[in-house]
Chains A and B, each alone.
Chain A
Amino acid sequence: MAGAIEIAAGVRDGSLKAADVVEQHLARIAAREPEIHAFNLVMSDEARARAGAIDAMVAAGEDPGPLAGVPIALKDNMCTHGVPTTCSSKILAGWKPPYDATVVTKLAAAGAVVIGKTNLDEFAMGSSTENSAFGPTRNPHDTSRVPGGSSGGSAAAVAAGFASIGLGSDTGGSIRQPAALCGVVGVKPTYGYVSRYGLVAFASSLDQIGPLTTNVKDAALLLDVIGGHDPMDSTSIPLAHPSLVDVLEQGVDGMRVGRITDLPEGADPDVLERTEQAFDVLRAAGATIVDIQVPAFTFGLTAYYLIAPAEASSNLARYDGVRYGLRVEAPDTNAMYGLTRAAGFGDEVKRRIMLGTYALSAGYYDAYYGKALKVRRLIHDEFERAYQHADVLLTPASPSVAFPFGAKGDNPLAMYLCDVYTIPANLSGHPGMSVPFGTGADDLPVGVQVLAGTLCEPQMFRAAAALERAVSAEVQP
């Protein structure tokens, strides 16, 4: 399969037709989507029309942009004007936003072709895509297993070749963990790197949109396109970002790579073994390995599962049956609220709304939410110190390879532990990415997580590219 860089180059110079590229991807979708269920909506007609328009632009001597003709899968929590955006929730089923998310506008301006809206854990709450109101997505590498989550649909779509590239959102690991489980590259940028305008909020101070791609260079290109300041997002960083595509070949010679010696336990041996090999690869490429301690790392899970649900409980208050989405009729407005929200939200979403409401409520705020914010500061400060000694840190992206459906049973905490290595970067705002690094148990993909300091995406991508170069055999389903 050609990568996005090659597709865009071919479409721009006329040697490749965007229409043909779309047909190839639609053919793969037709063949395997019934089995995988990566999409909530495949936009065949729109994609064909868009591809035709891009080919016409090229024929007219215009440049459609750096993603010319590249099929992209959008997580179904990004607003697309006139196209249903459901967050895989019954409460938003069929809702057509009257506006586009900033990333959607930027993708259009770059010539990308949106091929569909992908499945997710409802409102991005989950680590397996099992929490979708529209049924789970299956891992293209083993359809008896989960693709990870919550961006499981986008990760699976990219892994299965349904789309050349994809976008996910990452609140506690929702890009990096499914990337690891599906054997693709997944990036959570520095908080504020990519505009959140039009991303349906889960936890506003943690959410970031990022790429899911088959290779590091495509991820760099996609992030170059969607990154940058947006005046519609007050938390968007008002800085110009250097091109990441340009830094990939710079290597890791002299780079300091941190090994966290007090990393929380719980990762499977196969995953730990691969992570060790990753250190070896970077050392061999000229990096220095340094030992780093981040004692508060382990408290990230608790801080996250108080802060994220608290923000979510407020963010999800707008689903009240008044202006859009589901309404369950009732004799009065208050009853309508309760019935609508009880019918519209799934169990995990309700659980987090309850947890978050409790953590913020009178009498409990200081003990839970207030304390969690302090732990967040502690974690942030410890990572800041770590980045004085190391340019990047390596950890597992997920404690295990893809697990079978139902493996976490009805135990929410077991599922929450899937995010133990990815959560701290959301709390601290630092960037992190998962890079496919060989296979583990049952020949399933393993992802190594590269973490870096604020706006140190260039270093992170250089390390990721070095790891990628070392992986000779690409994992293909």
Chain B
Amino acid sequence: MSERISAAVVEKVARLARLALTPEEIERTTAQLSGMLEHFADIDALQLDDVAPMAQPYPLENVFRDDVVAPGLDRDEVLAAAPAAEQGRFRVPPIIGLDL
């Protein structure tokens, strides 16, 4: 896993993350990520085959809420904080280049 990351991969990751990075930023990020991943190769030495992944520190299960309506937010207050709103809705530029 200590393979060096390429600028092409960094560009793809930036697209996935919806970050419009400049060519300079792509270059710098490529170098920095490479350096980090090299450092992170330390865990390659560990024998982890029989280790179960741990996603949460405290083992809880079956946490529920009852199906009861509670007061929600005030639409005007929420829409006032929106970058653009119209007819009680959030307004965005045309949706293109995205999954329908």
The answer to whether A380 has its CB under 8 Å from any CB of chain B is yes
- Name A232's closest neighbour in chain B (CB-CB): B65
Q: Are A332 and B93 in contact (CB under 8 A)?
A: yes
User: Cβ of A39 < 8 Å from any Cβ of B?
Assistant: no
Asked if A90 is an interface residue, CB under 8 A from chain B, the answer is no
A354–B57 CB distance below 8 A: no
Q: For the complex, is B92 an interface residue (Cβ under 8 Å from A)? A: yes
Taking residues whose C-beta sits less than 8 angstroms from the other chain, chain A's interface range is: 35 or more
Cβ of A262 < 8 Å from any Cβ of B?
no
Indicate whether A313 reaches chain B with its CB closer than 8 angstroms: yes
Q: Mark A21-61, 1 if CB is under 8 A from B, else 0.
A: 00000000000000000000000000000000000000000
Q: Which residue of B14, B58, B77, B81 is within 8 Å of A237 (Cβ)?
A: B58
- A179-191 CB contact bits vs B (8 Å, 1 = yes)? 0000000000011
| A34 → B minimal CB distance (Å) | 30
Contact between A373 and B17, CB atoms less than 8 A apart: no
State whether the Cβ of B7 lies closer than 8 Å to any Cβ in chain A.
Answer: no
Interfacial chain A residues near B51, Cβ < 8 Å = 374-375, 377-378
| A173 → B minimal CB distance (Å) | 15
Residues A418-466 near B (CB distance < 8 A) = 427-430, 454
Of B13, B20, B63, B96, which contacts A338 at CB under 8 A?
B20
**Contact of A371 with B43 at beta-carbon distance under 8 Å, contacts A333-B95, A354-B13, A357-B16 already known:** yes
Q: How far is the CA of A238 from the CA of B53 in the complex (A)?
A: 24
Contact A338 B57 (CB under 8 A): no
Which of B25, B39, B55 is the one whose CB lies under 8 Å from A413? B39
Task: State which of A91-99, A114-122, A248-256, A281-289 sits at the interface with chain B.
Answer: A91-99
* Residues A333 and B82 in contact in the complex (CB < 8 Å), given A373-B53, A429-B58: no
Main secondary structure of the interface of B (DSSP, over half): loop
Q: Is the beta-carbon distance between A354 and B17 smaller than 8 angstroms?
A: yes
Q: Pick the contact of B17 from A298, A313, A377, A430 — CB < 8 Å?
A: A313
**Contact B94 A342, beta carbon cutoff 8 Å:** no
Contact A374 to B48, CB < 8 A, known contacts A350-B19, A354-B14, A354-B33: yes
Other-chain contact of B43, A99, A302, A351 (Cβ < 8 Å): A302
A412 contact set on B, CB distance < 8 A: 32, 36
Binary contact track B10-33/A, C-beta < 8 Å → 1, others 0:
100110111111000100010011
A335 to B78, CA, bound (A): 24
Given A95-B81, A341-B20, A305 and B58 contact (CB-CB distance below 8 Å): no
User: What residues of chain B lie closer than 8 Å to A324, measured between beta carbons?
Assistant: 81-83
Chain A residues near B53 (CB-CB < 8 A) = 370, 373-374, 376-377
What would be 10 A-B contacts, judged by CB atoms less than 8 Å apart? A237-B58, A334-B96, A354-B14, A355-B36, A368-B1, A368-B37, A372-B43, A373-B55, A374-B52, A454-B58
Known: A96-B81, A323-B82. 19 other contacts (CB 8 A): A95-B81, A98-B77, A235-B63, A237-B58, A302-B43, A323-B81, A333-B93, A333-B94, A336-B92, A337-B18, A339-B20, A354-B17, A358-B33, A367-B1, A371-B48, A373-B53, A378-B48, A378-B51, A413-B36
Interface, chain A (partner B; CB < 8 A): 95-96, 98-99, 190-192, 205, 231, 234-235, 237-238, 296, 298-299, 302-303, 305-306, 313, 317, 320-327, 329-339, 341-342, 345, 350-351, 353-355, 357-358, 361, 367-368, 370-378, 380, 412-413, 427-430, 454
